[in-house]
Amino acid sequence: MDFTLSEEHVMFRNMFRDFAQNEVAPLAQTTDHEEKPPLEVLQKLAEQGFLGATFPEDYGGAELDALGYCLLMEELAKACMSTALTVHVHLGLAGNTILREGTEEQKEKYLPDMADGVKIGAFALTEPQAGTDAAAICTVAVRDGDEYVLTGNKIWVSNAGIADVFIVFAKTDPEAGARGISAFIVEKDFPGFKVGRRERLLGLRGAVCNPIYLDGCRVPAENLLGGKEGEGFKVAMKALDFARLSVAAICLGLAEAALKEGAKFATEREQFGGPIAQKQAIQNYVADAAIKIEALRHMVEYVAWLADSGERYTKEAAMVKAFGAEVAFWVANKMVQVHGGYGYMREYAIERMYRDARALHIIDGTTEIQKFIVAADIFKEYGLKIKP
């Protein structure tokens, strides 16, 4: 339904849809089965200007707002969630964080190359002992003249194996807790930086996820993001608010694609003398999926509007991400059921979508922490501060 979209947004959506269906979708099964990062598609995305879509024109972008960006994520996820996630990390997390928090010199140095696909971005926050509890990171950064020396390990770094630019979080004041965290722009060729072995994943098999090791990694002082120490935790939380909206748009796209696969199969598969689409149980699955998808669509558009209006949207981002993950996995699961045994075969796209959907309850914050964020905000109105 287009009634909430401007003519410009409809134009962008149609452009994203055409590209995704013509250039991304035909490669989705191969990307998954061969576990290949979508490098060819990334180059084509860069040529279309999509890898810097939210950047101002001065940095090679199209200056899309949050709603326009969500339309891009939705259409990419319809075609291939591995590709959507790769772009989400590059642009939604790394690129937008530099755009929002970086100095003018940092923006000029990194954003044009990121928009052109010359440099791919990654976001390194999680550590072995610090997942949902981001304030518990142990990586440290010590000032040494005109450089910082970073020591520590990061895990689950999406895009790490193909990235050139990393947003890395480390403690410049280990005694200050969350207030002692700073953010740095780290390049893969900096001394002391190493990317570890790629993780093998249940789904998202075209996405690249690795640990990184910082063994006395020397980072120029001008690569302190924003030029200020102690701002890293705030930087990370703002980045995650936008990331959760982005993931919700990915959830929407995946759910739509899964419903399309299920409905198409139901009209073609015949049992008991006719297509299984004639059976009420199948109709209920399809109708319930469509209802949930439309509810999610309007939540995504509302939270994108909040983001574009400059309103605080932490609670709403948590809501839409939690709901989106539930919708995407529910729809994918039911559409596997519609396929019956065929839904468990690798030749059918729904099998890939089902595996990919499972990750959505975990990416950029588990469903459990999203619900905590929502509950904490509500109880705060009654003067009660709750802890994870």
| Residue type (1 letter), 279 | K
Q: What is the pLDDT of residue 1?
A: 46
Structure confidence at residue 3 (pLDDT):
55
How high is the pLDDT of residue 311?
A: 87
The residue assigned the tokens 């001008």 is 222
Q: What is the dihedral of CA 364, 369, 372, 376, to 10 degrees?
A: -50
Asked if residues 38 and 31 have their Cβ atoms less than 8 Å apart, the reply is yes
Spatial distance between the Cα atoms of 236 and 137, rounded to a whole number of angstroms: 12
Check residue 267 and give its pLDDT.
97
pTM, two decimal places? 0.95
Angle, in degrees to the nearest 10, between helices 314-339 and 349-358 = 150
In tens digits, the chain (388 residues) has pLDDT values of: 455 789 999 999 999 999 999 999 999 999 999 999 999 999 999 999 999 999 999 999 999 999 999 999 999 999 999 999 999 999 999 999 999 999 999 999 999 999 999 999 999 999 999 888 888 999 999 999 999 999 999 999 999 999 999 999 999 999 999 999 999 999 999 999 999 999 999 999 999 999 999 999 999 999 999 999 999 999 999 999 999 999 999 999 999 999 999 999 999 999 999 999 999 999 999 999 999 999 999 999 999 999 999 989 999 999 999 999 999 999 999 999 999 999 999 999 999 999 999 999 999 999 999 999 999 999 999 999 998 8
Q: So what's the pLDDT on residue 132?
A: 82
